[in-house]
Chain A
Amino acid sequence: MPEDKKKILVLFAHPAQERSEVNKPLFTACQQHSDVTAIDLYREYPTFHINIDKEQQRLREHDVIIFMFPLYWYSTPAILKQWQDLVLEYGFAYGPNGNALIGKTFLCAITAGGSEAAYQSEGYNHFTVRELLQPLEQTASLTGMNYLSPFVLFSARNAVEENRVNAHITNLRHLLTALAEDTLDIETARSLPVLNSNLSDLFIA
């Protein structure tokens, strides 16, 4: 029953898409998915003048919110931070009557240059990706959204050479379908360090 499907909003932020090897095909996969509204933020707001009303309306109309970006200095590219600063207003996303986002599902789909080993307490980045994304996890918490573990491609700079991109895209497609059809084991998906380590185990038949 298509009416019962969850609606997914992908907010994609990549300021140098002509150099993108992984994020662009990932975003294309999102655009092709029938249950996804895929927004290229840098295309829509090249001067950073974000239309707050339009973005808030988009949030209201979707059940799953996905931030899709390459990890820049352990955080989002600038426009996605601008988007948070402007769109998640007091009285909309938090505070009294600020309950527009309550009950929605939120996750990050990111690519990271470093290897998975580097994102460990003993690695050179010292923190796991899940730890580094805690500001977003807390944002989800304050706004009442269910935060899922991040969907990550590590060592993204070598992914093309090592033929890992296609498998990652296939995983993303399955994840989007599971989210839309509500066949994802949400409880487990909230607790993992990253979402894609044993992705197929999370799908409820």
Chain B
Amino acid sequence: MTAYFIQAFIYLCAAVIAVPLAKRFGLGSVLGYLIAGVVIGPIIGLVGSETNTLQHFAEFGVVMMLFLVGLELEPRMLWDMRNKLIALGGLQIGLTTAIITAAGFYFGLSWSIALTVGLIFALSSTAIVLQTFNEKALSKTEGGKNAFSVLLFQDIAVIPMLALIPLLALPELVEQAQAAVGQAAQQHEELSLVAGLPGWAYGIVVMLAIAAVVVGGHYLSRPLFRYVANSGLREIFTATALMLVIGIAALMSLVGLSPALGTFLAGVVLANSEFRHELESNIEPFKGLLLGLFFITVGAGIDFGVLASNIGPVLGITAGVMLVKALVLFVLALIFRIKNSDRWLFALSLAQAGEFGFVLLSYTVQNHVIPTDLAQMLSLVVALSMFLTPGLFIFFDKVIVPRYEHSENDREADEITEKGTVIIAGIGRFGQMVNRFLRANKIDTVVLDHQISQVENLKKINVKSFYGDATQPDLLHTAGIEDATMLVIAIDNNERAVELTKYVKHTYPKVKIFARAFDRGHHFELKHAGADFIISETYHSALELGKEALISLGVHPFKAEQKKATLRELELCYKDSLFESWKKKTEDSKYSAHFRELFIELETAIAKAMKSEHFDEQAKVERGWTPPPKDYEEKINRSE
């Protein structure tokens, strides 16, 4: 037990030190993990033999990553992107694989190994590239968008690759592999549903398993999540999410399919679910940690002996691979008319090999497709190309962008700038109306609520909404708070609304906060917490009713409207001074019991002010359309 603690501590410690450092130097978190692994493995030698075992465990992070990739892919979005995805992504993978395979074959690899290597190097690093795009705000550029389609296609292409690679197993190792499989089957007979079944039955079982995932995901997940959500226990929801992913992975393993494929499918099925964001925010930390662990084990597994003795070939292959990838991408950019600096961004950003390369390499070794020593060398190439990627981005920033800056700035500024997303927290009667109004004016909104019944009601009338606790940072993150322009807070819990305001204002100062207040005290608390616009929920409706009452009692409607405006203006006049005195008082006394007393005091002050204005004939705010005195003409004539 003690040994486990110490090891876990070493891994976490390395990650905690290296990853923030790597981020600070603009290298991204993936490189941070790799460096951490290199340091604790080959350099200091703190960890050793257990990395292999750990790596198998950490590969589950990849399974989770594919689940999350699936969650992001709404079937409709996939369909809209189909042309670009298939043409651009397909050509990228096809051409790159073909060229690298040919090169491998030329250098004397057998065709199966060459093809495997080609496939592995055709993939780029989703983790590094997307993260860098986000950090450098390149996601919305033409180059960024096209790079995303290619990465998406690659992520999907990993699944058929996982299916294809075992078929490429080396003939001399097949026998050995079969013996091993046979042994495993004997040892774990009870763990396989398909051992010993004839081909047709195996086919049926596989189809049934996939159907179970799709149909179950579609029809059973919703009642299950609703049942769990109604319990209101957050950790049980997390447990359910984990159960789902692990269950599907287990089912797929039982029928001899890739767990990654299964969870990816489940992710796509759940992409339209109102629980999507909550699922993402629950799985994300596990995925992040496990993937991190995976990268650390890769780093720790780097054999410096291999590197030292193969330094020439490793450097050569790395340069060759990156050159081939960049060239293929550049040609594709020409064909698909990606212009100017975007063409360079597209070509440079995707020139590295990716994290899936590590996954596929360890998978190929397991399946006896590539000998271990070659795999070790290739994994050095993958790592090195990833290390070089930040350099390419710096090259893009410093050399490419200045060259195009002039010509791109000549274009006239667009009339309408992009309207970022508005996140609406709390979708009761108040939030619903805000949402409807914004949507009617073509503003993108993301709606969050922690009451599943509310979310379901909205689903019935086609409002896109998600289940989850909006005060949880994770959920805000998956709802896209970083890129949002505004957060509308309309949740029922007063204290949480204030806390949420404080948190968002502190962490994302650029996001505007529009909040609904329960009463005046809440109003001031929200203001104090930094909300940009606050409205008391009953204020306007009460004033409106008061105005209608005046009209009904015989006041001319236009006059009644003026009276209403007068009251509003008075409130506005006094608002700031009331807030200041509230602030002073709350800073002096720390007990909330005093608030009530204070507000009664403030209300009296307003009432008094209203009264004095009311009796003043020349009331400042009501002086509009005051006619001149009856004898004014004489005065004007006299002055002429």
Contact = CB atoms under 8 A, between A and B. Distances in A.
Interface of A: 47, 49-50, 52-53, 85-86, 89-90, 94-96, 142
Interface string B471-495: 0000000000000000000000000
Nearest to B566: A49
B408 interface: no
B626 A49 contact: no
7 contacts: A53-B620, A86-B624, A89-B626, A90-B626, A90-B628, A94-B628, A94-B636
Contact of A52 (B623, B627, B629): B623
A81 to B, nearest CB: 12
B625 A95 contact: no
Interface residues of B, number: 14
B624 A95 contact: no
B639 A96 contact: yes
A95 B633 CA distance: 8
A85 B625 CA distance: 6
A50 B624 CA distance: 9
A114 B627 CA distance: 36
A95 B565 CA distance: 28
Interface in B549-595: 565, 569
B635 interface: yes
A155 to B, nearest CB: 24
A49 B635 CA distance: 30
Nearest to B627: A90
A95 to B, nearest CB: 6
Contacts of A94: 628, 636
Contacts of A96: 635, 639
A89 B626 CA distance: 8
Contacts of B565: 47, 49
A95 B626 contact: no
B219 interface: no
Interface in B457-472: none
A94 B624 CA distance: 16
B79 interface: no
Contacts of B627: 90
B635 A52 contact: no
B107 interface: no
Contacts of B635: 95-96
B457 to A, nearest CB: 33
Contacts of B639: 96
Nearest to A91: B628
B632 interface: yes
Contacts of B625: 85-86
Contacts of A95: 628, 632, 635-636
Contacts of A49: 565, 569
Contacts of A50: 624
Given A49-B569, A89-B623, 6 more contacts: A53-B620, A89-B626, A90-B628, A94-B636, A95-B632, A96-B635
Contact of A90 (B569, B620, B632): B632
Nearest to B620: A53
Interface in B584-640: 620, 623-629, 632, 635-636, 639
Given A94-B636, A96-B635, A52 B626 contact: no
B567 to A, nearest CB: 12
Contacts of A89: 623, 626
A19 to B, nearest CB: 13
Closest 9 CB pairs of A and B: A90-B628, A86-B624, A49-B565, A96-B635, A95-B632, A95-B635, A95-B628, A95-B636, A85-B625
A95 B620 CA distance: 19
Interface in B5-40: none
A86 B621 CA distance: 11
Contacts of A86: 624-625
Contacts of A142: 636
Contacts of B629: 90
A142 B635 CA distance: 13
B632 A52 contact: no
Nearest to A47: B565
Nearest to A82: B624
